[in-house]
């Protein structure tokens, strides 16, 4: 028995993305050039960075053991954060409905659609902390600014989801209800609402979880909640209390995520 | 079938839910309203501030106009810095998150202890906000971009690690078995059998996280971790609203462009 040709005895893994070697190596070259340029242009103070490791060690030293003597401050901050998140989610989920309807291309007239989408994009672009600082300037320090920030963030997120769901829904049901001579509000209640409600509730619960995370950070610019306490401890080098707050935030976010997953699992 | 049965089955008026379901729905609704109402009341909000809110907002907007376009040249450097922080942070995350994702995927992790450690890192990373990470790293590395890059990295590890780990758990085990049958080492199995299957997810989440990171890195400067946030914060505190307007427009442009780039790239990859 003679084989016609010798089989290859070694195998080389083919490249995963770009088959053309010139393009692949060119890509690597560009990547290296970008790295060099960006690191060079950032003016990093390497001597200060080199002190980082001992400083981190020192910080860890000061963090342990976590300080729980000021638990009343901690509880007050956490409760305020939770309340901001709950209230903002509730108000946001109500306000998001009309905006979501306006942002759906298949329901709203063109100018309304464009206006609603612009509003959604504008408020989604800016980070919560930027929005928070403006509310702090207008309404002063405190949870009101944080509440309004989270409301803006919730409305833009939930209404975008509503608009997309409406655009993707089954138009047959709309036609069927319309054929009975139903008015526009009846159309919304009997044809649109049953199709989007389960996902809408899911999105709202998800947003509650997201608001809980963000409520811990808007305080850094003075908009209430546990973040205000946390940033104060960092300013005073109270690292042992910082660690307590960080652990509390981790527990809070973990519980929030657990709760959100549980409810969304039941909704499905 | 009697007439009464007929009437029950085909009622004159159609109700979607029966009485019990309706009551349960209303109870849920009342409960949610109660919790929300109680939260708002307990927040001690000074409602009087709302009376002149529209005046304040109008005043703020009128002070922003016209934007100080002369300031554009001065914000270019911090703006590029912001993008660099996001990009470098994402690159470092890419390197770190892949091994952690392999640790936290149930089907490829070496043992229960490594799985637990991996999961713990993911949860800890995700539950602390980027700005809070920035506070920590500013204390360690001092104010500047280094703190920003590490803050972005620490928060992104959890995000990318979780999504990649979920992708690894859903791979086709047939490929893995086939590679194992050739007598390949554990490392080779991961490299040839697992990695190529999840690579599109890895690239996709990296690009997605990059565009989230651009948005996050615009506020890192508020706590001193570099980027446009430093200038924005100082202009706000100096009430230099016309400069603030220019920076907001610049941030808007950068975020929208990065979202666009990310969406196009992801469509090509997946």
Percent of chain A with pLDDT over 90: 15
Q: A17–B199: do the CB atoms touch at under 8 Å?
A: yes
Q: Check: pTM over 0.90? Answer yes or no.
A: no
Residues of chain B with pLDDT under 50: none
Higher pLDDT, A170 or B92: B92
Which residues, 6+ apart, have CB-to-CB distance to B210 below 8 Å?
B86, B87, B90, B258, B262
Which of A5-19, A25-39, A254-268 shows the lowest per-residue confidence on average (mean pLDDT)? A5-19
* pLDDT given for residue B73 in this prediction: 82
Look at B128 and A249 and tell me if their CB atoms are within 8 Å: yes
- Residue position matching structure tokens 């703190």: B147
Hey, what are A118's tokens?
């612009």
pLDDT digits (tens, 9 = 90+) for A22-55: 888 888 898 899 888 888 887 777 777 777 778 7
Q: Which two tokens stand for residue A61?
A: 């030293």
Q: Where are the domains of chain B?
A: 3-37, 79-269
User: Measured between beta carbons, which residues in chain B are less than 8 angstroms from residue A49?
Assistant: 141-142, 146
Is the pLDDT at A130 greater than 80, yes or no?
A: yes
| Tokens 């003679």 sit on residue | A2
Task: Please give the mean pLDDT across all residues of chain B.
Answer: 87
Nearest CA in chain A to B92: A35
Q: What is the pLDDT of residue A74?
A: 86
pLDDT value of residue A156: 93
pLDDT in the model for residue A2: 58
Q: Residues with Cβ < 8 Å from B186, sequence gap 6 or more?
A: none
Pick from B127, B203, B251: CB nearest A250: B127
Interchain CB distance below 8 Å, A246 and B39: no
Q: What is the DSSP letter of B106?
A: T
What per-residue confidence (pLDDT) applies to A238?
82
Its ipTM equals 0.83
A3 pLDDT band (50/70/90 cuts)? low
The predicted structure's pLDDT at residue A4: 60
Contacts with B44 from chain A: Cβ below 8 Å: 143
CA-based angle A244:A229:B160, to the nearest 5?
Answer: 65
Q: Which of B140, B149, B223, B259 should we substitute to test contact with A (largest number of A Cβ atoms within 10 Å)?
A: B140
User: Which residue, B222, B11, B263, is CA-closest to B132?
Assistant: B222
Contact A126 B248 (CB under 8 A): yes
Half-sphere exposure of B210 (CA within 13 A, CB side): 24
**Cβ contact B39–A214 (<8 Å):** no
Report pLDDT digits (tens) over A176-219: 988 998 888 888 888 888 888 888 888 898 899 889 889 888 88
Residue B141 and residue A34: Cβ atoms within 8 Å?
no
List Cα–Cα distances, B267 to A18, A164, B83, B208, B263, in angstroms. 16, 18, 22, 11, 6
Q: A246 with A60: CB under 8 angstroms?
A: no
Helix (H, G, I), strand (E, B) or coil at A252: helix
Q: How far apart are CA B92 and CA A39, in angstroms?
A: 13
Residue in this structure with the two tokens 């309807």, named with its chain if needed: A101
Go through the domains of chain A in sequence order and give each one's CATH number.
Answer: 73-267 (1.10.3720.10)
Nearest CA in chain A to B136: A234
| Alpha helix positions (H), A108-192 | 110-125, 128-139, 143-167, 171-179, 184-187
Residue contact B43–A84, C-beta within 8 A:
yes
**pLDDT over 80 (residue A153):** yes
Is A217–B131 a contact, with Cβ atoms under 8 angstroms apart? yes
Which of A52, A79, A121, A243 is the mutation pick for testing B, counting most B CBs within 10 A? A52
Does the structural domain B79-269 have CATH classification 1.10.3720.10?
yes
Enumerate residues 239 to 258 of chain B having a beta carbon within 8 A of any beta carbon in chain A.
248, 251-252, 255-256
**Rounded Cα–Cα distance for residues A14 and A9 (Å):** 16
Q: What is the mean pLDDT of residues A6-27?
A: 75
Q: How confident is the model at residue A5 (pLDDT cuts 50, 70, 90)?
A: low
Average pLDDT over residues A90-107: 90
The answer on pLDDT for A16 being more than 70 is: no
Q: Tell me the mean pLDDT in the region A92-106.
A: 90
> Is pLDDT larger for residue B269 or for residue A143?
A143
Task: Give me the pLDDT at residue B218, please.
Answer: 92
Q: For the segment B135-163, what is each residue's pLDDT rounded down to a tens digit?
A: 889 888 888 888 999 999 999 999 999 99
Closest CA to B141 of B131, B126, B151, B132: B151
Cβ–Cβ < 8 Å for A211, A224: no
| A64 has a pLDDT exceeding 90 | no
- DSSP one-letter string for chain B: --HHHHHHHS-SS--SS-HHHHHHHHHHHHHHHHHHHHHHHHT---GGGGGGHHHHHHHHHHHHPSP-GGGHHHHHHHHHHHHHHHHHHHHHHHHHHHHHHHHH-TTT-SSHHHHHHHHHHHHHHHHS-HHHHHHHHHHHH-SSHHHHHHHHHHHHHHHHHHHHHHHHHTS-HHHHHHHHHTT--HHHIIIIIIHHHHHHHHHHHHHHHHHHHHHHHTSGGGGT-SSHHHHHHHHHHTT-HHHHHHHHHHHHHHHHHHHHHHHHHHHHH-
**Contacts with B192 from chain A: Cβ below 8 Å:** 13
Within 206-235 of B, beta carbons closer than 8 Å to A belong to: 215-216, 218-219, 222-223, 226, 232-233
Instruction: Please report where in the chains the tokens 């660690």 appear, as a residue.
Output: A243
Residue B1 is predicted with a pLDDT of 62
In order of A138, B178, B193, the CA distances from B181 in angstroms are 67, 5, 11
Q: What is the pLDDT of residue B44?
A: 74
Nearest-Cα residue of chain B relative to residue A246: B128
Q: How far apart are CA B78 and CA B231, in angstroms?
A: 8
Cβ-nearest to B127 among A44, A220, A254 = A254
């Amino acid at each position: 028995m003679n084989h016609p040709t010798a089989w290859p005895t070694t195998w080389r893994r083919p490249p995963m993305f770009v088959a053309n070697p010139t393009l692949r190596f060119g890509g690597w070259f560009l990547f290296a050039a970008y790295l060099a340029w960006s690191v060079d242009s950032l003016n990093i103070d390497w001597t200060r960075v080199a002190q980082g490791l001992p400083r981190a060690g020192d910080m860890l030293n000061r963090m342990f053991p976590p300080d729980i003597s000021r638990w009343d401050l901690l509880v007050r901050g956490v409760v305020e954060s939770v309340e901001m998140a709950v209230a903002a989610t509730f108000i946001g989920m109500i306000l998001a409905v009309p905006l979501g309807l306006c942002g759906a291309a298949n329901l709203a007239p063109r100018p309304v659609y464009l206006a609603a989408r612009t509003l959604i994009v504008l408020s989604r672009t800016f980070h919560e902390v930027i929005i928070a600082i403006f509310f702090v300037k207008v309404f002063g320090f405190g949870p009101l600014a944080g509440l309004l920030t989270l409301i803006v963030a919730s409305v833009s997120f939930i209404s975008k989801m509503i608009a997309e769901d409406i655009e993707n829904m089954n138009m047959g049901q709309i036609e069927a209800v319309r054929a009975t001579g139903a008015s526009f509000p009846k159309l919304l209640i009997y044809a649109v609402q049953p199709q989007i409600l389960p996902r809408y509730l899911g999105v709202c619960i998800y947003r509650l979880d997201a608001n809980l995370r963000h409520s811990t950070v808007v305080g850094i610019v003075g908009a209430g909640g546990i973040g205000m306490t946390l940033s104060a401890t960092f300013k005073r080098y109270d690292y042992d209390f910082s660690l307590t707050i960080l652990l509390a935030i981790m527990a809070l976010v973990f519980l929030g995520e657990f709760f959100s997953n549980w409810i969304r699992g039941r909704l499905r | 079938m009697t007439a009464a049965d007929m009437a029950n089955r085909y009622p004159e008026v159609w109700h979607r839910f029966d009485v019990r379901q309706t009551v349960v729905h209303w109870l849920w609704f009342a409960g949610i309203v109660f919790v929300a109402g109680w939260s708002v009341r307990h927040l001690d909000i000074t409602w009087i501030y709302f009376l002149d809110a529209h005046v304040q907002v109008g005043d703020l907007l009128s002070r922003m106009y016209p934007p100080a376009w002369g300031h554009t040249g001065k914000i270019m450097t911090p703006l590029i810095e912001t993008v660099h922080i996001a990009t470098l942070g994402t690159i470092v995350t890419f390197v770190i998150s892949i091994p952690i994702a392999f640790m936290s995927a149930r089907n490829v992790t070496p043992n229960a202890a490594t799985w637990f450690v991996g999961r713990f890192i993911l949860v800890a990373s995700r539950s602390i906000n980027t700005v809070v990470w920035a506070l920590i790293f500013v204390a360690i590395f001092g104010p500047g971009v280094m703190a920003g890059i590490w803050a972005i990295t620490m928060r992104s590890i959890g995000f990318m690690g979780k999504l990649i780990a979920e992708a690894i758990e859903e791979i086709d085990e047939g490929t893995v078995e086939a590679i194992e049958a050739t007598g390949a080492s554990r490392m080779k199995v991961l490299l040839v059998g697992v990695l190529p299957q999840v690579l599109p997810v890895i690239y996709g989440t990296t690009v997605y996280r990059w565009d989230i990171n651009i948005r996050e890195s615009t506020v890192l400067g508020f706590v001193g971790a570099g980027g446009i946030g430093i200038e924005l914060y100082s202009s706000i505190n100096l009430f230099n609203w016309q400069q603030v307007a220019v920076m907001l427009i610049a941030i808007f442009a950068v975020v929208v462009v990065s979202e666009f780039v990310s969406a196009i790239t992801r469509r090509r990859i997946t």
